[in-house]
Structure 1
Amino acid sequence: MSAKHFINDPTHLVNTALLSIPHTNPSVACDLENKIIYRKPNGSAQVSVVSGGGSGHEPSFASFVGHGLLSGAVAGTIFASPSAEQIKRCILHRVEKQKGVLVVVMNYTGDVLNFGMAVEKARARGIEVDMVIVGDDAGVGRAKGGKVGRRGIAGTVLVQKIACALAAKGASLREVSDIARLTARNIVSIGSSLSHVHVPGRAAMSGDDELKDSEVEIGMGIHNEAGSERRITDLPGLVKTMLSHCLNTADKDRSFLEITPGDEVVLLVNNLGGVSVLELGGITNEVVEQLANDWKITPVRILAGTFMTSLNGLGFSISLLKVVDTGLGSGKSLLELLDAPAEASGWPAAITTDTWRKQGIMFVPEEQGDGEEIQPNDLRLDFALAKSTLTTALNRLIVAEPEVTKYDTIVGDGDCGIGLKRGADAILKLLERMKKTDDALVFLQNIIQVVEVTMDGTSGAIYAIFLNALAHGLRQNAPSSPQPITADIWAKGLESSLQSLSKYTPARPGDRTLIDALYPFVKTLSKTGSIDAAAQAAEEGAKGTRGMKASLGRTVYVGGEGWQGVPDPGAYGLAELLLGLSEGLRL
């Protein structure tokens, strides 16, 4: 292994990856000598659709071989076209030829030449073969593309899916070729990436070629080719630029396709390999919202996932297909062919036409709400003082977030500080809009509702349980007539909530958790009635977790060095909040 790859030998990597495909789809076979994945004969004659290109774009194209999709795929080495001989053998010996063969290839010089040579050799043998070249990349404008034209990128998979679905219905070679060309003419795509990819067996790119932190390359190709520009921007700004390159008809260099708000459009958001599923979801939502808000386009189909990669490229591409009439009648529209089932291990879309047709049906969700109302109480507080004190404490916690996060990165999963800050930010927003009240329980219950919604994970649950128990404890110790809440009542409420919390967590002082700060705070406040002394006790308790062996939480099984030198992140964060309360009362 290397620092970048589990398999660093590119030849071994490509070969073993190809060998894996029949394991995941028993309807296909592997000709390893020629790097061909092909469908096993099933006795049904149809037009065969063949594609391929350099390896490194998986699941394109080898994992798209199967019923309803490709008949065969030919792989080159990483980012390099397969040879004409490999492709010829696929056409002549690995796929059905009775009804003809369509070759679909992306517009790269090596691919066009080698696939074209194989097509001509097959024709010379008397086989009916046609070839469609897909160039959908708006990242390459007319001036830069010159005679070569646009590169082929992820929009190619839509051409393949639609053409293959028509072939599966028994269409002729001419019909399948025509619909492939029709689809290709109505697609525009663009990709962007935060970094170049590292190719196994090659030296990593460095120096001026590599992107700087926060810099994105707009229009980057799927083989590390340069894009149209580099800039520092956020996701909304990036998507805005990408969509403009695809849709702005005033940009004569890049306006390859006119799409109006009245057109039906298919959206494909493609992961270039290194974007998490979670983040791709956020990217997809941003694209959909900008299409609706800025371009008045609501896609009739949205495909989001990993279709054509650039190895583990830290980027994504956007493809837009304008839906046009195929002229082929019922069951053979672009959308119906796109929706048609496919039995290929790499094709992730599984939503049926009937389900898509229901997307416009009005759905009114059931009203949420449990009918809970905040009951008034006789405990009174100074709203202005409570608001200012809590604001001081929350701001201190927010300032401490980077330190909490640093500690949690060493001993946990790094989310403790972010969770605390998220809760603090939400409570601050609540304080800005909260109606003035002198009811201590109403004030506290409003905060509890925010904590329950905005803070997740273990710490969020502990805070929510503790605060709910505190509200119950304060209500039990409330006077029979309106009176100011005292330190003694706070202390009794806190003692009660600490006892309630112990029912739900086995954590006790000495277990290296936030209890190491909470417990001394509550006990000291009960004993002294002093918030300053209690906050200092919490701080000492948090400091005491340095070097303490954990009995609970992720620290128990997190490996690595350095945990002995840092406090428990939850205890540290709570102590900062409590010190902030003490500080706020002194102001």
Structure 2
Amino acid sequence: MSNRHFINDPNHLVLTALQSTTLLNPGVALDTTNKIVYLRPGYGSSSSSHNASHQKQKVSLISGGGSGHEPSFSSMVGRGLLSACVAGTIFASPSAEQVRRAIMGRVDHNSLSTDHGDGDNERGVLVVVMNYTGDVLNFGLAVEKAKAAGVNVEMVVVGDDVGVGRTKAGKVGRRGIAGTVLVQKIAGALASQGRSLKEVTMVANLVADNLVSVGASLEHVHVPGRRAETHGAEDKTLKEGEVEIGMGIHNEQGSSREKGIGLRELVGKMLKQLLDQSDKDRAFLEVNSNEVVLLVNNLGGVSPLEMGGIVTEVVTQLADKPYGIKPVRTLSGTYMTSLNGLGFSISLLNVVNTDIGGPGMIELLDYPCEAHGWTAPISKLTWEEQRDNKQTRENDAKSEEEVRACGLTFAQPEKAQKQLVAGLKAVIAAEPEVTKYDTTVGDGDCGIGLKRGAEAILSHLNKNPLTGDAAIDLSKIVTVVEQTMDGTSGALYGIFLNALVASLHTVGGGGGESDKKAVDGNAWAAALKLSCEALSKYTPARPGDRTLIDALYPFVDALEKTGDVKKAAEAAKQGAEGTKGMKANLGRTVYIGGSGFEQVPDPGAWGLAKFFLGLAGIEKSDGGGSSNANKQAKGSDDGWEEVSKEAELP
């Protein structure tokens, strides 16, 4: 693993890489703020025959995920493929707000005039996302918001990896890896031919259901800007002569480590995982078609010379007994990377009838596109046509309507803010501890994400102190959370806090001036209970799954029973401590082996418990995690309020 990079600032790296897409393809534009690459308005509007087949497109195709997998997904934006892509930070999903803005403001989605009233002429949006918890939650939340706004939008989740079998994957299911680009290519081609959202969604799901992939790597990768020690324990590093079969594209553990095997034996083991029907843990797909597509993908660090040798070995073994498979299309190149990963993946697509009375999978795979991440070059016509086209979609997605008052108010807003500041400062101070825990059982970014969100809320409170109404004040904080926290935690907090705003209206009744009442522990407990119920619709996580839920639920239950914030915070702490030694059932930790879970509590649960302890005044912090944090909130230097049973709970 090399930890040397030409660009060591990860934020600068991601933004400049996204900017390059506009330099390589003049048909795309970049929304820098939201990290969205999208097709320029009017792209392909020439009357030439080259563009004629693209003029009647009804469906916009959006995908995305964490950065570090280039050319997926930003370089797959172009005519005939993706309409837009949304990028997160390295190996972390984009926020739901980024995705919402892409759906609502960066692609065509409005209804067209309908002559027959059958809906066939309506524009729509298809979102294709890989099966990672953060991606599914954030993209799913954005899709639901868009649906609520009247947009015709669907989502397809791709899980093609067989590196982790059914037993180990459990509730999480198969990960999405390189085979995802085949779903995108075929769906993008069908959308370009003017097919309906129903048809495009059906075929995309059909492709995803007929895909299997597996990868192998000689080493983990290093994320630019990240401390070497945050990349994992010593036993995670592959030793000389070792290769890991099934390693995920974020350094997740695979199925086995093999030592001293050559390429032939390695490829044989990989093909067996893909094709052996006797392996009931991995027999996800019976490849029985006369037509099979093979994709051999470079994970980023393998030379083209070596990739050529790998392709030859894979094709040769497929043709031999017992498989006898001769692919109708063989694709090889760099389609989906793990930064500079020293490995490759094999994907097989079982070609089946699309049943849409038109083009089949192979025809759609061959259909021309102009995305420089795919193999087709950008045409001369496009360069000439777009030379003077500087149009962009500067109009933003429609802002959310102003949140109405809920009738529950802070009797002493300044005191409530002081308590909230205390909780946020406790989170910031706990960052090194949370990062240490997440380094042991995850990818090391949990503490940084929590700290980033806490600092952003402190900055917001400094400029916008609490005013009184609990729902209005919270809704403004929710916006900050959605814009600054990405990944799985960001999505969970976003969903929970949005639900909490709605729950406050339910509990408070949303009455007028005469119906206002002070918010107390009982009101917060009732609203929090409703929010937990709402969150449960979007995640299967429950107490005992080793997630932040193990701290959240005990806090809510204790607050409901006692009305005492201190007792509730202590319950959250006990819940977080109880995750030590608890085997994870959800999240990326599922894929990471070793005994780390026996040594440390769940990082997300611990960080949340620290917030509750600070909120309750049980645990003080000097705010050492951030030199600026202490200056960013009104009243933060006035001392710590003792929180009692009668506390308002900010």
Matches within 5 A, 1:30-179: 30-42=30-42, 44=55, 45-98=57-110, 99-179=123-203
Deviation at 1:75, TM superposition (A): 0.2
Deviations 1:8-66 (A, max 9, x none): 00001001101111000000000000000000122544200000000000000000000
Distance in 1, matches of 2:357 and 2:134, equals: 37
Q: Which amino acid aligns with 2:5?
A: H
Aligned to 1:347: 374
Q: Does 1:10 align with 2:37?
A: no
Aligned to 2:354: 326
Distance in 2, matches of 1:134 and 1:263, equals: 23
Q: Does 1:335 align with 2:362?
A: yes
Deviation at 1:328, TM superposition (A): 2.3
Distance in 2, matches of 1:272 and 1:36, equals: 23
Of 258, 262, 281, 2:286 maps to 258
Q: Does 1:221 align with 2:248?
A: yes
Q: Which amino acid aligns with 2:34?
A: N
SS of equivalent residue, structure 2 residue 33: helix
Aligned to 1:498: none
Q: Does 1:21 align with 2:21?
A: yes
SS of equivalent residue, structure 1 residue 126: coil
- Scaled by the length of structure 2, what TM-score is found? 0.53
Aligned to 2:215: 191
- Calculate percent identity across the aligned residue pairs: 66
Matches within 5 A, 1:446-465: none
> Contact 2:36–2:86 at 8 Å: present in 1 too?
yes
Q: Could you list the runs of 5+ residues in structure 2 that have no partner in the other structure?
A: 46-54, 111-122, 378-650
Distance in 1, matches of 2:106 and 2:23, equals: 19
SS of equivalent residue, structure 2 residue 94: coil
Kindly tell me the number of residue pairs found equivalent between the two proteins: 347
SS of equivalent residue, structure 1 residue 338: helix
> Contact 1:39–1:65 at 8 Å: present in 2 too?
yes
Structure 1 stretches (4+) deviating beyond 4 angstroms? none
Aligned to 2:305: 278
Distance in 2, matches of 1:190 and 1:203, equals: 29
- Scaled by the length of structure 1, what TM-score is found? 0.58
Q: Which amino acid aligns with 1:156?
A: T
> Contact 1:269–1:303 at 8 Å: present in 2 too?
yes
> Contact 1:22–1:29 at 8 Å: present in 2 too?
yes
Q: Which amino acid aligns with 1:91?
A: I
Distance in 1, matches of 2:190 and 2:183, equals: 11
SS of equivalent residue, structure 1 residue 127: coil
Deviation at 1:148, TM superposition (A): 1.4
Distance in 2, matches of 1:343 and 1:160, equals: 13
Distance in 2, matches of 1:252 and 1:263, equals: 23
Q: Which amino acid aligns with 1:54?
A: G
Deviation at 1:349, TM superposition (A): 5.3
Matches within 5 A, 1:399-478: none
> Contact 2:3–2:222 at 8 Å: present in 1 too?
no
Deviation at 1:329, TM superposition (A): 3.1
Distance in 1, matches of 2:327 and 2:314, equals: 11
> Contact 2:370–2:376 at 8 Å: present in 1 too?
no
> Contact 1:303–1:349 at 8 Å: present in 2 too?
no
> Contact 1:53–1:61 at 8 Å: present in 2 too?
yes
Deviations 1:437-490 (A, max 9, x none): xxxxxxxxxxxxxxxxxxxxxxxxxxxxxxxxxxxxxxxxxxxxxxxxxxxxxx
> Contact 2:86–2:98 at 8 Å: present in 1 too?
yes
Q: Could you list the runs of 5+ residues in structure 1 that have no partner in the other structure?
A: 351-587
Deviations 1:157-197 (A, max 9, x none): 00000000000000000000000000000000000000000
Deviation at 1:263, TM superposition (A): 2.5
Aligned to 2:458: none
SS of equivalent residue, structure 2 residue 145: helix
> Contact 1:186–1:321 at 8 Å: present in 2 too?
yes
Deviation at 1:3, TM superposition (A): 5.8
Over aligned residues, Cα RMSD in angstroms?
A: 1.2
> Contact 2:213–2:345 at 8 Å: present in 1 too?
yes
SS of equivalent residue, structure 1 residue 92: helix
Q: Which amino acid aligns with 2:302?
A: V
Distance in 2, matches of 1:84 and 1:264, equals: 38
Deviation at 1:145, TM superposition (A): 1.0
